[in-house]
Amino acid sequence: DHFGQVDIVINNAGILRDKSFHKMSDDDWDLVYQVHLQGAFKVSRAAFPYMRDQAYGRFVMTTSAAGIYGNFGQANYSAAKLALHGLSQTIAIEGRSKNINSNTIGPVAASRMMGTVMTDDAMELLKPECVSPLVAWLSHETCNATGELFEVGAGWMSQLRWQRSQGAYFDPKGFSIDDVANAWDIVKDFSDPIYPSSIGLTFKAIQGNPHLNDDI
């Protein structure tokens, strides 16, 4: 009511409770989940109906390299951060018809939280000003990117995407661990990769199984 409308939501709240997995408590897990993922969910859900009504909106979720790749001592943080990308992709799908875009960034940038684990020299190189132009672009009305993931930091920027091997097919009526072992090199062969972008392409791959009939 105070500002008139909501056009952009940037989910950037964060907290660290780093511990190796076998030492992590429920409280360590829950607090990180609540701040990173639950917080983003509640803010985004509150804004989404207004964006639908005005047929316009932009979301930017903040993940991290730890969320994308995993990192020692950060099981809670990594899980919550990767979950944000799943949330973003679904918002992108559900918002597409209403001109609502949602993307995820994985920044490497100096912050009070990062200052606990990085040197002063590294912090100077990783200025937030090297991240904010990407956030501004993804929030801009002329940017049509949606459901995408980007890494950014220290003057470098890159898009990430899923890559899948062609895979191997087995008879769904029955196959064994030996069959899997014998086809393992084929399962892991990325010489001719596919770049899937939706759940529909997963079902398309399954439908290509020569052992199947037309029921799927």
Of 197, 196, 97, 98, give the one whose Cα is nearest residue 147: 197
Does the annotation count 33 as an active-site position? Answer: no
Under 8 Å between Cβ of 156 and 138: no
- Return phi, psi of residue 95, to 5°: -95, -5
What does the DSSP 8-state code read for residue 141?
Answer: T
Choice among 56, 69, 77, 195 that is catalytic: 77
Q: Which strands sit side by side in the sheet containing 149-153, from one edge to the other?
A: 8-11, 57-62, 100-107, 149-153, 156-160
How many Å is the maximal CA-CA distance in the chain? 65
Secondary structure class of 214 (helix, strand, coil): coil
- The residues annotated as belonging to the active site are 77
